[in-house]
Amino acid sequence: MDLFSRSLSDLLDTVGDLTDDDFARPSGCADWLVRDLVCHFVIDAQDVLITLVTPTADAVTHDAVTYWKVSHAPADDPLAALTVRLAAAYGEPWMLRHHVQDVGRAAVRAAQIADPQLKVGTQDMVLAVADYLGAYVWEWTLHHLDLVAHLPHARRPHADALARCREVLERVGGAFPASWRDEDVLLVGTGRRAPTEAERAELGDLRIPFVLA
């Protein structure tokens, strides 16, 4: 749960440091500008707030890893086009920056006071709060990499968050070479960067990319 707060706080700090021009640059998500990705953060933070106040007495069905559906093909997100339209509707970058900080910081605070053993329901799943927030470390960290993909001056995700996400990816797909940096494992493993010839040889029969949605 601490890693959830740290990874989201780092992401929000990075957004806070962006210039207005940065919002119009491409992100690491195909067809999305940085502003579109930041708008997605607003929606995700709202989802966290909603889920944390949706307790259930039902039995737990998923954990921080099985929360994600794993495939090897890009996921079809029906909200992708809506997100782009919503982002454009903000008009000025400061409006979007203010909103994401508002709901994002609220999500951090809600996570810090939540009962880790409370069961919550979301997307026809039941998880303990600790596992639900643990699953979101993947979301914040991968999208942090997307946010800074074309912004070399921006701060990158915390090393602990990168290491946790590598652990998740290797649990669902198999081990990557131990010599690889965590960030490279995530970028190559999720198809965000093509492997070099040497990296492809090191991967052997490991099938990539892995899409967690």
- The full 3-state SS of the chain, as one line of letters, equals CHHHHHHHHHHHHHHHHCCCHHHHCECCCCCCEHHHHHHHHHHHHHHHHHHHCCECCCCCCCCCCCCCCEECCCCCCCCHHHHHHHHHHCCCHHHHHHHHHHHHHHHHHHHHHCCCCCEEEECCEEEEHHHHHHHHHHHHHHHHHHHCCCCCCCCCCCHHHHHHHHHHHHHHHCCCCCCCCHHHHHHHHCCCCCCCHHHHHHHCCCCCCCEEC
Mean pLDDT of 8-17: 98
How many other CB atoms sit within 10 Å of the CB of residue 145?
20
Cα 200 to Cα 176: distance, rounded to the nearest angstrom: 11
Among 17, 33, 30, 38, residue whose Cα is nearest residue 77 = 30
Tens-digit pLDDT profile for residues 16-39:
999 999 999 999 998 999 999 999
The CATH T-level fold of domain 2-212 is Four Helix Bundle (Hemerythrin (Met), subunit A) (1.20.120)
Query: Residue 152: its pLDDT value, please?
Result: 93
Distance, CA of 150 to chain centre: 17
Predicted TM-score of the model (pTM): 0.95
Does 77 score more than 80 pLDDT?
no
Does 160 score more than 90 pLDDT?
yes
Tens-digit pLDDT profile for residues 182-212:
999 999 999 999 999 999 999 999 999 988 8
Banded model confidence at residue 75, pLDDT cuts 50, 70, 90: low
